[in-house]
Structure 1
Amino acid sequence: MSPAAHPVLDLPFDVTPDPDEFVRAAMEWHFSPETGSPYWLRRAQSLDFDPRRDIKTHADLTLFPNVVDELRDVPVRDLVPRGYGEAPDIVGTFESGGTTGAPKRVVCLRDWMDRVVAWSNANLDTHGFPRGVQWLGVTPSGPHVVGRIFEESAATHGSLGFFVDLDPRWVKKLIATGRGDLADDYAEHVIDQAAFVLRTQDIGVMTITPPLLERLARRDELVDLVNEKVRAIRWGGTQMDADSRDLYRTEIFPGIPLYGHYGSTMILGIAGQRYGLGEDDPCVFDTFSPYITFSVVDPASGEPVAYGERGRVVMNHVSKGLLLPNNLERDLATRIEAPDGRVGDSVADIAPVARFDNETVIEGVY
């Protein structure tokens, strides 16, 4: 029989644990020889602190080094906590976008996928997304976790999903090597695939990236089909500026709820657009705290910037299935105060840095 976890690690998705009690329980789970993963049990030997003794609050997660670059080479089985037993229910292994070199890999357990999708589905309800309809996803699949989240959402919040695959790595490679015309051709090919579905199927929810939504909106026939059939649009992958959001909401797709999310493979999830934002407000993203948390810091000092100021995004993932704290992401954002009861920061005005890990950052279509 597998060792039991502290009950605070297994609460329902809509019950928010005390963040400090939760972090302490997670440290016991991830660094106990009986339940921790081979990776973290080895890595603990090189830390200059004892996580089970010294990590007492959510704020103490800053003691951890940023280990994400090590995940380019770590066998993913070594990331699975031993507490899941000999036959853990693994949903899949997922990779970062490869924007800054060889991709990093994480493994996702079934209990986490169910938790984050249930949280996301509740957000969709808040934003007026209809349940039980058919979904169309124009998103990366394969090694990218967003494709699996789409699939799970389409099956649980919706009824079924239609998929149009997207290879963002190929688009970025084309752009980086000066073949932007081929990247344009590929993007138009993707929209062609979406058009076939929109013409022939009843689609109630569409998930798409902002650059591809812009391309779709250039075709009058597809704008008409979306307005006729689609009842809500979920976007993510790259940022959407306030002017574009306003144009979609008021002129191109009037009356259709437009909901954004912001995430990363390294947190195995997403942050959701805050409900009730005014027309002139920036798009603010709130996290699934305390499992997924952000901080916005000065990259030179590592200290938080003031609310309303811009800095680099640091992401933490702490759950029963995965521990990945203190990851300095490639994105800049404005620091926003989180809603009451949540730890960490909310973020707005997401934009990539120009260079990251000595590589030029190219967004492309995702």
Structure 2
Amino acid sequence: MAEPQGAAFVREMMRWHFGPETGSPFWLKRAGTLDFDPLTDVRDFDDLSLFPNLVDELRDVRVRDLIPRGYGDGHSAGVYESGGTTGQPKRVVFAAEWHRRSVEWFSERLDAHGVARDVDWLSAVPTGPHNVGAMAVDTAALRGGLNFAIDLDPRWVKKLLADGHTDMAGAYTDHLVEQIAYILSSQDVGVLFATPPMLERLAQRDDLVELVNRKIRTIIWGGTHLDADTRDLLRAEVFPNTRLVGGYGSTMMLGTSVERPGLGDDEPCVFDSFAPYTTFRVVDPGTGRVVPYGERGQVVVHHMSRTALLVNNVERDHATRIAPVAGGFGDSLADVAPVESFSGTKVIEGVY
């Protein structure tokens, strides 16, 4: 069965999410408050701008109301939460089919980068209510490996930093590095999945730098931004024996995007989305208009799949607008960096 494409895919998603037999209680109720009819007025990707940004409602909504009726009874799903960077966490539901599909796509992108299969992973990413931990476990398993995890609570670090307890935040980060060190020294792991702050902490210890360069074939980084200079330093001088592959994702994206393969060392890291299910737009934050290619703006994310409809989600990041790969939709992103504040809240990345 061919993948859905373009405008036909958008109309298919509108029929699913606003059909009385398939839509979720959340969207079927919300439809009555919209000043347009999604079934007749939303015909292509550009029409998604008609929707209001509703992600803040996901902080308090009854989670079962987010599950589309089209799944029927007895389906399997997971509930995941955001990191709480801009306030109380938001919640989303991943149907099992969507989680499986996103893991398979992630794995295919790793293949495009030449990431080895049949090796074990060390994942220094959030677990618990965060989907990235579940994705790490299942991606490693799909590729023939085991996944070693650490306890990482990103909200605790952000709370400590917000309250000015930098010493305690530093001590907690040391605790995370100790967990990583124990696994690195005792296990044969070939993939390290970690955030840029964790990589920078590892780089401060010569013994761990030696272990990474000796054991790790690929470092997958994501969760917080990594500027071009630090990326070059890590790739060329700190971890020269490993391959670095970047990811850009969020809970509200319901997945991740992956660095475009085949780019030269002097080219920026470009992120391609899992289109048509997840698409990016880069807009002028003042006017909401799409900026020209090569210019910077705020990232807007659309997610459309059977598992969820989350469109016109204004992210807390700025990026440079890049043309998508041939046959792609929306925009690709380069030089992603967080804004200083978002929705009146100071943005604190911490360790994730």
TM-score w.r.t. length of structure 2: 0.98
1:132 Cα offset (Å): 1.2
| Aligned residue number for residue 128 of structure 1 | 114
Match of 2:172 in 1: 186
CA contact (8 A) 2:214 2:241 kept: no
Report what 2:4 is aligned to: 17
For residue 3 of structure 1, what is the aligned residue in structure 2? none
Post-superposition Cα deviations, 1:129-183, rounded to whole Å, max 9, x if no partner, equal 1111110000011111111111111111242100012111111111111110111
How far apart are residue 255 of structure 1 and its match?
3.4
Please name the residue that 2:58 is paired with: 71
In structure 2, C-alpha distance between the alignment counterparts of 1:21 and 1:165, rounded to whole Å = 43
Following superposition of structure 1 onto structure 2, how do residues 224-263 of structure 1 map, counting pairs within 5 Å? 224-263=210-249
Partner of 2:337: 351
SS at match of 1:351: strand
Q: Is the Cα–Cα contact under 8 Å of residues 128 and 257 in structure 1 kept in the other structure?
A: no
1:337 corresponding residue in structure 2: 323
Q: Which residue of 1 aligns with 2:301?
A: 315
Deviations 1:213-243 (A, max 9, x none): 0110111111111111111110001111222
Q: Does 1:363 align with 2:352?
A: no
1:191 aligned counterpart, secondary structure = helix
Q: Take 1:262 and 1:16, find their aligned partners in 2: how far apart are those partners?
A: 23
Instruction: State the alpha-carbon separation in 2 of the partners of residues 158 and 302 from structure 1.
Output: 44
Contact 1:191 1:215 in 2 (8 A): yes
Query: How much is the aligned-residue C-alpha RMSD, in angstroms?
Result: 1.0
Separation in 2 of the partners of 1:178 and 1:164?
25
What's the counterpart of residue 147 of structure 2?
161
Q: Which amino acid is the alignment partner of residue 289 of structure 1?
A: A
Are positions 1:57 and 2:58 aligned together?
A: no
Report the CA distance shift for 1:56/1:294 in structure 2 as closer, same or farther (over 3 A): same
Structure 2 distance, partners of 1:148, 1:298, is 34
8 Å Cα contact 1:242-1:280 kept in structure 2? no
Which of the numbers 75, 80, 91 marks the counterpart of 2:67? 80
8 A contact 1:209–1:238 mirrored in 2? yes
In structure 2, runs of 5+ residues without a counterpart are: none
TM-score, normalised with respect to structure 1: 0.94
| Counterpart code for 2:113 | H
In structure 2, what is the Cα distance between the partners aligned to 1:239 and 1:102?
Answer: 21
5+ residue gaps, structure 1, are 1-10
- Partner SS, residue 166 of structure 1: coil
Give the CA deviation at 1:249: 2.0
State the alpha-carbon separation in 2 of the partners of residues 78 and 300 from structure 1.
Answer: 33
> Residue 150 of structure 2: SS of its match in structure 1?
strand
* Cross-structure match for 1:107: 93
In the TM superposition, residue 35 of structure 1 has moved relative to its aligned partner by 0.6
Partner of 1:324: 310
Equivalent residue pairs, number = 352
Match of 2:127 among 130, 135, 141: 141
Query: Is 1:47 the equivalent of 2:34?
Result: yes
| Structure 1 residue runs of 4 or more that deviate by more than 6 Å after TM superposition | none
Looking at structure 1, the residues matched to 208 and 297 of structure 2 have their Cα atoms a distance apart, in angstroms, of 38
